[in-house]
Structure 1
């Protein structure tokens, strides 16, 4: 649900504790180190976008740390995409350090320790995305973390500009099709980062990585086709089925396992985000499952509830 936090009306001695609670509720548990706790000021407004959330954070300088102790009770995996609009950010994760200035954005993995800080007053947009959804669009999304992506041109500019536009619209109280906005934000984010040469796994050749990218782009365009299989995808991509299977062995899963993950994620979004009740059979068919009982078994194994339960919880 939407939430707003502001320290303006609080006594100086209460602000640090209040801000730590606000940040924890909006994102996840973090250790905060204030540059000047006695003069700290902050405001945070978050909007629910279905499985995602968008927030605008403005505050005095401080440092946020995600510690190993915070991860012991963490059940849900999330990524944060931060777009600074006022001053620069220093971010460290997995041995990689980056400086992200206004005109860029960065990704953070919420289920790995990190340090995030800024030494001047700052204003940030933060998009919170479930890990399963990120993995549904990006192979090994952790590779994209702690890198500063250009937001001054091309797809990066479109993504950051659309974040601004959506945030201003929500901030004015203009309610709209939030699930649609979420899908559009994710689509622009993926376009912005997936072609960056820095994310190629040095253990894989660029050729193999390019083949995987082409295979998965084709499959995503045809998820609704229940006849889609490795042979057809391989033929469409100009490679042999044997080579396709070898590519997926190298990344620790089969093509059909990956395909089921994509379809199940889309089906879950449809069940939980539909404006009115939808039939389980219709959703199964919409996302390429010819057998409803097979779909229901896979869905429960993946999400811990039946499709019908997911529909009622929307």
Structure 2
């Protein structure tokens, strides 16, 4: 998935505006050439890394897109390719000696559905490897072999580590477009620490990787909560079993947002809020509240007002959404709701 070895990690130079949004190191698309030439261009992207060949004798077109992010001494790539299968084989003498974490992705899922990713793999470009692409899109993280924790010729990724690394790669993929140049050294350091903890576990490596590991768990937990928000079984103990983490770990991760129970309750309150301001939803307030687990009307009304500053009936009557109708009672209260609305 890469056409050049990663560059050494550097701090933002004087010529680089650290506040500018991070840009792709490489972005290219096969649409720049005629359809009959598109697969050949796609093949050339991987020169010096791997041999790529089509499974069909003729490929009338091969619309593909590649974006590459330079993260210090790491390189992160997203490849979007059509459904046409193609072969991939490592070269006997590649131009670069790197490990590569590879995550197959499907096409973008329908709105509201979870992304069903493929099995995470770790390969060295210098090791023999051949496969047929089974997914259309791919994420790949290229890691230089000279990092201190990658000196071994054989590295196995255990299932627990696969889960962490898969979630982290998805989180990184979503986060990169919003990063600034100044964030690169911190992201590179956090990613390297996480890789060390997952690929060569030790007490020191795990301690260094605690923050990115917890960020990955928090990301997976928030997606699990969103998926099961209407499930009456959704509670801290159920979430621990679903995520495979201890209660103490879960509580520590959710502590900055008020705790896991508070987080679940807040997300459910937001669901009721969205329904209340929807003019096409004519259900009663109590029916909406019960859908999201609030069975006692007075308790629900009290929690809603504490969270958003107005009662459920006022929210419905005023068509209130977000913080547009927050009443100016005091600055801290308004700021709190604004921060909640943006989080």
Instruction: Please report the TM-score for the alignment, with normalisation by the length of structure 1.
Output: 0.48
Pair member with larger Rg: 2
Higher strand share: 1
Instruction: Please report the TM-score for the alignment, with normalisation by the length of structure 2.
Output: 0.44
